[in-house]
Structure 1
């Protein structure tokens, strides 16, 4: 187990957690909702700034993802800063990450849009990729809660 503050994961497990965050980054940037489905259990539970307790991928897509991903640009987790707590059997993890993106005011002017995510991850064996059973994504204080997308 690593002893770095904020980390309780072997290097290999931390890398696989970071890989999950990288895959989600790619799906958000591509605005590929269905392509993100394999990263989440069908009955995962999401909540955050935009939606409270969205049960399941379809609900999260409809009430959270589509209200955010469609209206932002340049989404990126700070992958080198992702932290993880991994269970001793290596089948459950909590991943924590900071993200940056560009939001847009109603008149189309951009603003920096950053926040944090806590993600519950599980897998059936250490040879399988992580799948999220829970996400909590929220914006940093003072960040406008809504982005309107680019204009023109």
Structure 2
């Protein structure tokens, strides 16, 4: 075997070994970051009506919380809100939740130029506001109002404004 032929055989093998090593390194580096999400998804699938998950997001207005949308065995769509600090999930049929577009219109009617909308759940605990003592699904709407960064919180089922917060310069 010539040197050239040996080189052409060894280079692809070396590239494959290096590639596998790099993939293994990044897999080990990044896999712990998904452990919390995997735990939340497993809990939601085991303890709520959801059989299939369609979407996932994180809600941070009331502490970190995992929000899933999925379907039950009959094809009905649900939202599941997993609160890691409580080790519990709360569910709500999607038919009971206002659409993002409806919430965007409510915020615009209050003079907010909407930048983002996120759905979450304010769970009942001793530090919860009085309106949330039984737990409430909320929309957090972030945007600009009169030049200030403003957050509006709407009841996700009724559209009632629950509270608002504006950041102002001092």
Same-fold status (TM-score > 0.5): no
TM-score where L is the length of structure 1: 0.31
Larger radius of gyration: 2
TM-score where L is the length of structure 2: 0.28
Relative contact order: is structure 1 or structure 2 higher (C-alpha 8 Å, sep ≥ 6)? 1
